[in-house]
């Protein structure tokens, strides 16, 4: 609506320009040829002044409305993309690259601004304004109108001719930008490892090479853009000059009156101006289309099943059972994954999942967390089969801590209250105490209001883990999912955490990927994974007495840790 209003104001502004040109031409004609005094042409000058002021107002409003419309479109597009990505899950982002996805969400959406704020209005103006001028000019001077009519198509024709080549180059450039984004993101995340292995120089050379390729691609697009702009300006200038020369000869031979000739000369640049501006905004179209292509890939990514807007069945706040039936998941272009998983989980207790590296533990947890929507239908809660419409509800019942938890650039209190924004100070302190974090937090100068850096910069590994645990505890979710919560902790703090988890498991279900022997021994039930399948199930003592995968894992245990 705002975009239409902006185009309408711009069109009215053009009509006022045409009226102003007639008033100015008539005023000058009266002064030069009719010998009118200034007072006698006041009736023409006052409307002309009003038109100039109105044009300024309409132009400002038109630009503001188009910019605001583009801003609303960008906000809506970002929200739509984020909603779709939340349905697709983290696995989709990992497959397509975090850097490329961030580039689409940020630079890609930003590229839509000029497309909607400048290019689309420019397309409308290039059709409406020349048409309005032709309608006015033809009755006045059909010969000038014919010149306009014959020369005008040359500009869009050449623009399309050049633009087809520029579009292909720009799409190639945008793909290179996605690769560059993924590469930068990965290297920034692994900067510590690059420094430790003295590989920074080699990576800098590779980054320089990729950046140089991107620079060449950008310059190729700009070269064509500058060439097309030069050609459009040249054609427009030649066309205006042709009109001026013909008008001059006709005035010289007396076949045209001054007022009409002057109006044509005033309107000639304005006739070609929208076409020239469209050419200058054509680069915005190329960027917008290239960016939109990546957005459409995300928006058109298939979901395993469509969410029903009329779904009324909700997951009960009280979970009595969780069942997994014939769950299989294989990663794209790979044979890795899990196969034929059948589980019946209780509503409380500590369940540990163990297995060698690559046995499918993390994949199983990702499925249970709803990160792979295509297999959610194989999970039932309280005998209710889940669908993608239930993923949000399922995740609201889960508190999750990965092995490397994410902390944000904010206060400690804000990081903990992320799971429960309306938590009281008492709840905040209780959760921190449960996680063994209250002591070191209170020792900080600003306590819970201490600002920490990105990814917990300024805290030790154990302190970061305890804050992540406090975040999980404050949610008081019926299901707690952990990836070895006692990693990076000293033995004393480990005992505190183990005790807190044991207390939590008395009334809730705790699922943990176990790497340490203490965690395995404290579990009420063990699930042993091997080659993507459940190899064994049972308590610690019974499985340890059997000859099987778990016994093999125990034999490789060193320094109190189960290698998995």
Domain limits, the chain: 2-299, 407-476
Angle at which helix 2-32 crosses helix 258-280, to 10 degrees, equals: 150
Which residues touch 455 (CB under 8 Å, ≥6 apart)?
406, 407, 464
Dist. CA 251–CA 48, nearest whole Å: 25
User: Residue 258: what pLDDT?
Assistant: 86
Class of domain 2-299: mainly alpha
Beta-bridged to residue 401, according to DSSP, are 482
Q: Angle at which helices 142-151 and 200-252 pack, to 10 degrees?
A: 160
Q: What is the DSSP letter of 257?
A: -
How many Cα atoms are found within 13 Å in the side-chain-facing hemisphere of 562?
26
Mean pLDDT, consecutive 10-residue segments, the chain of 564 residues? 85 89 88 83 89 91 89 89 82 75 82 84 85 86 81 72 64 71 73 74 80 78 73 79 85 83 86 79 73 83 58 67 88 82 88 85 87 86 83 84 81 88 88 85 87 77 82 88 74 77 86 78 85 86 81 66 42
Spell out the long-range contacts of 527-531 with Cβ–Cβ below 8 A and sequence spacing 24 or more. Answer: 527/343, 527/351, 527/352, 527/353, 527/354, 528/354, 528/355, 528/553, 529/338, 529/353, 529/354, 529/355, 529/359, 529/360, 529/361, 529/364, 530/355, 530/356, 530/359, 531/359, 531/360
The pTM of the full predicted model, rounded to 2 decimals, is 0.67
pLDDT at position 54 is 92
* 407-476 homologous superfamily: P-loop containing nucleotide triphosphate hydrolases (3.40.50.300)
Residue-level pLDDT at 330 = 87
The residue among 437, 441, 395 whose CA lies nearest residue 419 is 395
Residue 163: predicted pLDDT:
61
Q: What is the pLDDT of residue 307?
A: 47
Distance CA 87, CA 93 (A): 11
Measured distance CA(87)–CA(303) in Å, rounded? 8
Residue closest to 365 by CA, chosen among 322, 406, 408, 335: 322
Q: Which two tokens stand for residue 446?
A: 């600003």
For residue 56, the model assigns a pLDDT of 92
Q: What is the pLDDT of residue 167?
A: 64
Q: Given this chain, do its domains 2-299 and 407-476 carry the same CATH topology?
A: no
Cα–chain-centroid distance for residue 244?
A: 51
Q: What's the pLDDT at 304?
A: 60
The two beta strands, 533-538 and 525-530, are antiparallel
- What is residue 487's predicted lDDT score, i.e. its pLDDT? 64
């Amino acid at each position: 609506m705002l975009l239409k209003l902006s185009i309408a104001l711009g069109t009215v502004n053009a009509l006022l320009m045409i009226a102003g040109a007639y008033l100015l031409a008539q005023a000058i004609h009266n002064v030069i040829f009719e010998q009118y005094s200034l007072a006698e042409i006041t009736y023409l000058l006052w409307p002309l002044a009003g038109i100039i002021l109105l044009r300024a107002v309409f132009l400002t409003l038109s630009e503001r409305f188009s910019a605001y419309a583009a801003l609303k479109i960008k906000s809506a597009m970002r929200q739509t993309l984020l909603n779709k990505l939340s349905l697709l899950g983290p696995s989709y982002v990992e497959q397509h690259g975090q850097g490329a996805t961030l580039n689409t969400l940020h630079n890609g959406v930003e590229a839509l601004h000029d497309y909607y704020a400048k290019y689309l209005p420019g397309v409308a103006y290039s059709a409406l304004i020349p048409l309005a001028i032709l309608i006015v000019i033809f009755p006045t001077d059909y010969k000038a109108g014919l010149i306009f009519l014959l020369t005008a198509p040359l500009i869009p024709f050449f623009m399309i001719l050049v633009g087809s080549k520029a579009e292909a180059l720009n799409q190639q450039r945008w793909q290179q930008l996605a690769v560059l984004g993924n590469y930068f993101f990965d290297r920034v995340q692994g900067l510590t490892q690059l420094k430790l292995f003295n590989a920074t120089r080699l990576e800098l050379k590779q980054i320089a090479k990729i950046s140089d390729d991107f620079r060449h691609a950008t310059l190729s697009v700009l070269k064509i853009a500058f060439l097309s702009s030069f050609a459009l300006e040249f054609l427009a200038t030649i066309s205006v000059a042709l009109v001026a020369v013909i008008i001059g000869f006709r005035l010289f031979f007396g076949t045209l009156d001054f007022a009409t000739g002057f109006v044509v000369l005033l309107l000639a640049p304005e006739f070609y101006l929208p076409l020239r501006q469209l050419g200058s905004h054509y680069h915005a179209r190329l960027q917008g289309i290239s960016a939109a292509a990546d957005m459409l890939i995300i928006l058109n990514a298939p979901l395993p099943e469509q969410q029903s807007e009329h779904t009324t069945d909700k997951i009960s706040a009280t979970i009595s059972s969780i069942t997994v039936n014939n769950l299989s998941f294989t990663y794209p272009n790979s044979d890795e994954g899990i196969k034929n998983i059948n589980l019946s989980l209780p509503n409380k207790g500590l369940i540990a999942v163990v297995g060698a590296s690559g046995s499918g533990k993390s994949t199983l947890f990702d499925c249970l967390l709803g990160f792979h929507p295509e297999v959610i239908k194989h999970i039932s809660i309280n005998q209710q089969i889940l669908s993608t419409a239930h993923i949000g509800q399922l995740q609201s019942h889960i508190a999750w801590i990965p092995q490397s938890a994410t902390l944000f650039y904010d206060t400690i209190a804000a990081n903990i209250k992320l799971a429960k924004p309306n938590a009281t100070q008492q709840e905040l302190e209780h959760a921190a105490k449960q996680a063994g974090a209250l002591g070191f937090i209170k020792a900080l100068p600003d306590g819970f209001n201490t600002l920490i850096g990105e990814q917990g910069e300024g805290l030790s590994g154990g302190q970061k883990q305890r804050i992540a645990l406090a975040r999980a505890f404050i949610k008081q979710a019926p299901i707690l999912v952990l990836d070895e919560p006692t990693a990076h902790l000293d033995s004393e703090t480990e005992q505190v955490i183990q005790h807190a988890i044991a207390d939590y498991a008395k009334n809730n279900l705790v699922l943990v990927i176990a790497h340490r022997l203490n965690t395995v021994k404290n579990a009420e039930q063990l699930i042993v994974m091997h080659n993507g399948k459940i190899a064994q199930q049972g308590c610690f003592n019974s499985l340890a007495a059997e000859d099987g995968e778990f016994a093999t894992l125990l034999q490789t245990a060193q320094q109190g840790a189960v290698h998995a």
